Chain A
Amino acid sequence: GENVEQHPSTLSVQEGDSAVIKCTYSDSASNYFPWYKQELGKRPQLIIDIRSNVGEKKDQRIAVTLNKTAKHFSLHITETQPEDSAVYFCAASNSGGYQKVTFGIGTKLQVIP
């Protein structure tokens, strides 16, 4: 089955700096890579996703890059703000049919004002 590794497990940055979270996956059949943000005490919510036919996707201050050859993808947050503080999960799955989603262990991001 799929295995997703995520690092770092914790990350502290100064407000205004950039943050990068990296994930690797093992199953070459995976073609859908979402990122979820979980604020303290809340449910995970999708913030951005990327499919294997795209190398990069941006949405305002967040971007995701995908390297299919190396089987890794990354989340980039620029100009970090205190409200970016949360746990971020990467995930991987195959979009063909009803497929399970495998999550990484999560990265706790702390943005220091």
Chain B
Amino acid sequence: NAGVTQTPKFQVLKTGQSMTLQCAQDMNHEYMSWYRQDPGMGLRLIHYSVGAGITDQGEVPNGYNVSRSTTEDFPLRLLSAAPSQTSVYFCASSSTGGGTEAFFGQGTRLTVV
């Protein structure tokens, strides 16, 4: 049982480049989410999904896109990377979001230069 698999683990981008962070879970969870972690700011919600075909914005959605074509996968796209997007990104899944344990991926350390 792999849980939540997130790739890549590290990435360096140049300003203006685009990329996709991959996230997959094998627990048949309906709820998936993306967070960014910055020093002194905790875990801030970027986007979330309550099931295939359904996504919504979180606290800090600007500059990011998501889609949910299957229950298992929830990729995060950076459209045009900016230095302000330098952060550690975590994907998480849970059966229903609030009220249940969130399982996190291993994280992606992204640096935009």
Q: Which A residues lie at the B interface, using CB under 8 A?
A: 6, 9, 31-32, 34, 36, 42-46, 49, 89, 93-106
CB distance from B77 to the nearest CB of A (A): 21
Do A45 and B58 touch across chains, with their CB atoms under 8 A apart? no
Q: Bin chain B's interface residue count.
A: 20 to 34
- Complex A-B, nearest 9 residue pairs according to Cβ-Cβ distance, in ascending order: A95-B99, A99-B98, A93-B98, A105-B42, A98-B50, A43-B104, A103-B43, A32-B99, A98-B97
User: B98 near A95 (CB under 8 angstroms)?
Assistant: yes
Are B97 and A99 in contact, with the CB atoms below 8 A?
A: yes
**How many inter-chain residue pairs (CB < 8 Å) link A and B?**
72
- Contact: B101 with A34, CB < 8 Å? yes
Q: Which residues of B contact A97 (CB under 8 A)?
A: 96-98
Whole-angstrom distance between the alpha carbons of A98 and B51 in the complex?
Answer: 10
Minimum CB distance partner of A4 in chain B: B42
Contact (A104, B97) CB under 8 Å given A43-B104, A98-B30? no
Instruction: Using A105-B40, A105-B42 as known contacts, list a sample of 4 further A-B pairs with CB atoms less than 8 Å apart, ordered by residue number in A.
Output: A46-B102, A93-B99, A100-B45, A101-B45
A106-B96 contact in complex given A43-B105, A45-B104, A100-B58, C-beta closer than 8 Å: no
- A98 and B104 in contact, given A32-B99, A103-B43, A105-B41 (Cβ under 8 angstroms): no
Do the beta carbons of A103 and B42 come within 8 Å of each other? yes
Contact with A along B69-113 (1 / 0, CB 8 A): 000000000000000000000100000111111101111000000
Contact B40 A98 (CB under 8 A): no
**Bound state CA distance, A49 and B98, in angstroms?**
12
Chain B, 31-52, CB within 8 A of any chain A CB: 31, 33, 35, 40-45, 48, 50-51
Q: Which has the most chain B C-beta neighbours within 10 Å: A6, A45, A89, A98?
A: A98
With A and B bound together, what is the CA distance between A105 and B102 in angstroms? 17
Which residue of the partner chain A has the closest CB to B40?
A105
Cα distance, A9 to B97, chains bound together (Å): 26
User: Which of A32, A89, A103 touches B98 (beta carbons < 8 Å)?
Assistant: A32
B42 touches A95 (CB 8 A): no
- Which residues on the A side are within 8 Å of B42 (C-beta)? 6, 89, 103-106
Partner of B104, one of A31, A44, A99, A106: A44
